[in-house]
Structure 1
Amino acid sequence: MDNTQAIAPPSYSRRQLLNFLAGTTVAVTASAGAYAMGKFFVPPAEKGGAGGGIIAKDVLGNPIPASQILTEAPGTRALVAGLAGDPTYLIVKEDGSLDSIGIVDSCTHLGCTFPWNGNDQEFQCPCHGSRYHPDGSVARGPAPLPLKIVQVAVVDDQIFISPWTDLDPRTGEKPWWV
């Protein structure tokens, strides 16, 4: 019988140590890349205001003060960036305040944007001829539904826009976009 004992190998060989270090380096690099891509695709949180709304902004993303829009004549429709960046018309009322209802500038036929025609006092979609009354209800098709509306609130000269979740005041029914 042989009374010799085998020498125990070290707990980590050089190859295992290098494999562990290489795997850790790859995992850390991949995690950092995944984090950066996640931050790119998830928009930054915005401080909510009245009713969880967002602040109305101009085309460059700068907040628009209410005093700037209220210098316009009554009946004016000012176009701002609203919820999800959708163009939204804010209306200056006859008493010089902002209407609590904003109208989203997206045709319900095919999603075109359209201008307010002050001469005809209606929104006119240039793509397929849909026309909307000043409150956003359909005056002439092919648009099948009224325009989407949002809630507008002014707090400390900031305009907050939030989703409309109540009954549609034009139809008296649950809004189609909720």
Structure 2
Amino acid sequence: MQDSFSYSNPSMSRRKLLNFLTGAAVAASAGGALYPAAKYFVPPKESDSSDGAILAKDKLGHVIPASQILSEPVGTRALIAGLAGEPTYLTVKANGTLDDRGIVNNCTHLGCTFPWNGRDEQFQCPCHGSRYSPDGSVVRGPADRPLKLVRVRVEDNRIWIAPWTDIDPRTGAKPWWV
């Protein structure tokens, strides 16, 4: 019987088999317990679009319909929660549409938020006195950079906000925030 196999040295002993099954059970249990914890610490994806656009929302996270902002008077600066939750101003133009540029409400000096002063037609930072023109250019320091821009588009009564990655039209150079 030269064609028979030897049973004296099996490839895996019972002990190795039980160790393998125990390790697999522990790994499956640990993975099942750690998956929800890992999911909790990974932020949700905000956008599925290729340009990174998200829907404009209010401070509570509710989507804002375009008709709500467009019903405001011409020149209104509506404050919304934009990209990464940053407060962003949207402007109603004279033709009843939204300006294609939104201005992020973070002072470039120290990151303060600031109001729009309709009487002076400026964004005025109350912390250190920086002033910005209606397009976000610096009028008076200590801020030395213009405000960040975002791209705004309206589709089907929804406002989409996307990162601004093109040349900054105010400076003619690559944006400092890209």
TM-score scaled by length of structure 1: 0.85
5 Å matches for 1:50-129?
51-129=51-129
TM-score scaled by length of structure 2: 0.85
In structure 1, runs of 5+ residues without a counterpart are 1-6
In structure 2, runs of 5+ residues without a counterpart are 1-7
- Equivalent position of 2:154 in the other structure: 154
Residues 11 and 106 of structure 1: CA distance in aligned 2, closer, same or farther (over 3 Å): same
Cα distance in 2 between the residues matched to 1:51 and 1:137: 25
2:14 to 8, 12, 15: 12
Deviations 1:64-83 (A, max 9, x none): 11000001111111111111
The alignment partner of 1:40 has SS state of helix
Deviations 1:95-138 (A, max 9, x none): 11100000001111111111111121111111111111111011
Cα distance in 2 between the residues matched to 1:127 and 1:142: 10
Residues 138 and 65 of structure 1: CA distance in aligned 2, closer, same or farther (over 3 Å): same
Aligned residues: 170
Amino acid in structure 1 at the alignment position of 2:40? F
Amino acid in structure 2 at the alignment position of 1:82? G
Cα distance in 2 between the residues matched to 1:24 and 1:50: 40
Q: Residue 77 of structure 1 contacts residue 92 of structure 1 at CA under 8 Å; is this kept in 2?
A: yes
- Equivalent position of 1:176 in the other structure: 176
The alignment partner of 1:29 has SS state of helix
Residues 73 and 40 of structure 1: CA distance in aligned 2, closer, same or farther (over 3 Å): same
The alpha carbon displacement at 1:16 in A equals: 7.0
- Equivalent position of 1:4 in the other structure: none
2:130 counterpart of 1:130: yes
The alpha carbon displacement at 1:34 in A equals: 3.3
The alpha carbon displacement at 1:44 in A equals: 2.4
